[in-house]
Structure 1
């Protein structure tokens, strides 16, 4: 095992050096020559200082992304021996297997959370330093506690179901677990706008009645039975601009950040809202949900085989008893982390298609390319977002088309 750890450490060291050199050196954000001086050129709507800050922040965030997943994988491997000790402790504390599982999940989740807190705090301080975040330390820590509690409850439920299914069907648990997880995923998506989101922010009906009437008219033109538009007080957390649609069925909500209301003009806001309505009209939430569920089926099948192979090959070296051992659960976490990282390009490629479709719908609904261009120029400026990204970053982190491409698409509607 010592040789394994040394080998993995060396591999991570080489990987880290390669990523540092790739992300921190050279011109990664250049635009095509034929776009220089156009509305897609950041020099036409951002200062040189803003462009430098945007590119620097992007490099830091991308480096953190590409290093954090391998770090988490390595950390889980290092903690497998600790997981065995936590399992033994839970067995000493309780005889009931359910309570043993609750104790194990809580302690291991807390351990991982504490060990990764410095990374989260570093990114929190970076966003503060660059003027993106307005969070206080109290809000940061409060959100962290909420994240931990929600994650712990969700993990306990999923682990409890997993262990029951594994015991009942050792060779087909991946399928039955997937089947049982589908209604849970749909349920969480359904309650998120009305139960989960308000735990973090205050939502209220849009106060600007004139803008509200314009947005509701767009909704009526789109045959959306909307009676309300919400604004959320994100200014206590960020200076960035955003809007979104989430939830399903009658719980679907179209939401504007209050920063968007302050920093965009009404016609720019209408193009943003038309984009969000495009998601609703074209049922992107349902399509995304179906895509995620299908991807999870493939992921669970792969996890089943990898989990069994890993345990047969190395379980005895850590003192893990078998597939249903609590101490084996971190291996599943490791596999999920690996597959989430590897599948990110596929997930983002799908997301970019959906986002472009919403842009198309926004232009069909408003036809106002000029307002859309101004909106995305302001989004790039306020969010410190480079208009283009290096390909590797775009594949792994780009859930939306590049701002440069979006502006050039809107330009054909700029009249």
Structure 2
């Protein structure tokens, strides 16, 4: 065992320990408030719903802690024991060393090492989520989703990997730069295609029915300069009772999607406020800003991969042959880069929360400077989703991409 393997294990233990510590803090905070609704939320939920949200949070916490240890052990066994190199070499011997052969090898390796996560996903869906009434899926649909995901991954992933490996062969010194540029453009194309091609494979997207609600929301689009021709409704209730709304695409390809569960839960004025929030992300330029940030972060990490690809010790430490090219580096990087990026989670979430505050402020402005439509919609979404109303401050600071309910409501009412 050399120092690189030791460093990998130390980083894995440090990350796991930190996640466990944050989980413990959050659990203690929830337990400390479990017997009474905090005064700030007495108008949000009743006693029965609050107790149910506490139980849901605690059970998710307990499940997550077990999953945390399980995932860490699996990753250590896959990477540190030489299994990853053995699997890669075995598949290479069976499939081939050419560009397309190696692309298939990488894809199949990722699929195989991802199999241990399936039991956790199954238990989360059919035990935890089902217990609290959220799961609407069936085992058949769950299996179908996994198979569709595999097929989409093959169709989109294998050509991208083959192209990246080809660039490495063509430009062995600067492959990391041009490879990232090509891959980034490829991802932008996928973002455009997603609502048209990928999402419909899993969920039905239908234009909102004509009527007062549609007219109201389209009028908001005209008032804000969003100029949406239609608003899409997704049959989220097909799989889950959770509700949501999201923005997909960019530029003239932008689309706003509302879950059918959200439409059922909110009043028209509240839906208008939620849509104003989503439009706020567009008007404030959050999507382009995110893409610019993602570009430079991605370029940096590709630069790191470019350097690692020149270090024979990095290959041999994990059981790979340095003559294998960049495929093992790409594989290893996808598996262990999270040990580094994890520590930057609070930084990225800080920017995300800033964007959410800006979108909330924009929504308030578009609702005649009235914060209550968005406030009441947030109340209902937190209630219906059994969201944790009492997260530990450190836990939410580290993990939350959105401000918690108390923070959002205070900012909205303060104006």
TM-score bin (small chain): 0.7 to 0.9
Give CA-to-partner distance per residue, 1:342-388, whole Å, 9 cap, x none.
33333222222222211111001003322222111111111121134
**Distance in 2 (alpha carbons) for counterparts of 1:80 and 1:151:** 25
**Distance in 1 (alpha carbons) for counterparts of 2:68 and 2:346:** 13
Partner residue of 1:293 out of 288, 292, 295? 295
| Residue pairs, 1:11-410, within 5 angstroms | 16=16, 19-20=19-20, 22-24=22-24, 25-28=27-30, 36-39=38-41, 47-60=49-62, 63=65, 67=69, 70-71=72-73, 73-78=75-80, 80-94=82-96, 97-124=98-125, 125-207=127-209, 209-309=211-311, 311-313=312-314, 315=316, 318-322=319-323, 324=325, 326-366=327-367, 367-410=369-412
Three-state SS of the structure 2 residue aligned to 1:318 is coil
Three-state SS of the structure 2 residue aligned to 1:254 is strand
**Distance in 1 (alpha carbons) for counterparts of 2:68 and 2:406:** 23
Segments of 5+ residues of structure 2 without an aligned counterpart are none
Shift of 1:106: 3.7
Three-state SS of the structure 2 residue aligned to 1:38 is helix
Shift of 1:231: 0.8
How many residues matched?
408
Give CA-to-partner distance per residue, 1:318-363, whole Å, 9 cap, x none.
1423351644542122243334433333322222222221111100
**Distance in 2 (alpha carbons) for counterparts of 1:84 and 1:325:** 17
Give CA-to-partner distance per residue, 1:122-160, whole Å, 9 cap, x none.
322322222222211122222222222223333323322
Shift of 1:52: 1.3
Give CA-to-partner distance per residue, 1:246-277, whole Å, 9 cap, x none.
11233211111000111111111111011011
TM-score in terms of structure 1 length: 0.86
Three-state SS of the structure 2 residue aligned to 1:245 is strand
Segments of 5+ residues of structure 1 without an aligned counterpart are none
Q: Please provide the CA RMSD for this pair.
A: 3.2
**Distance in 1 (alpha carbons) for counterparts of 2:42 and 2:307:** 47
TM-score in terms of structure 2 length: 0.86
Give CA-to-partner distance per residue, 1:89-143, whole Å, 9 cap, x none.
434444x603421431243122123222122223223222222222111222222
**Distance in 1 (alpha carbons) for counterparts of 2:379 and 2:230:** 28
**Distance in 1 (alpha carbons) for counterparts of 2:288 and 2:14:** 41
2:357–2:411 Cα contact (<8 Å) kept: no
Distance 1:7 1:189, change over 3 A: closer
Distance 1:345 1:22, change over 3 A: closer
Q: Which moved more, 1:145-154 or 1:117-126?
A: 145-154
**Distance in 1 (alpha carbons) for counterparts of 2:249 and 2:70:** 29
Shift of 1:202: 0.2
Shift of 1:279: 1.5
Q: Which moved more, 1:191-200 or 1:325-334?
A: 325-334
Distance 1:9 1:83, change over 3 A: closer
Shift of 1:21: 5.9
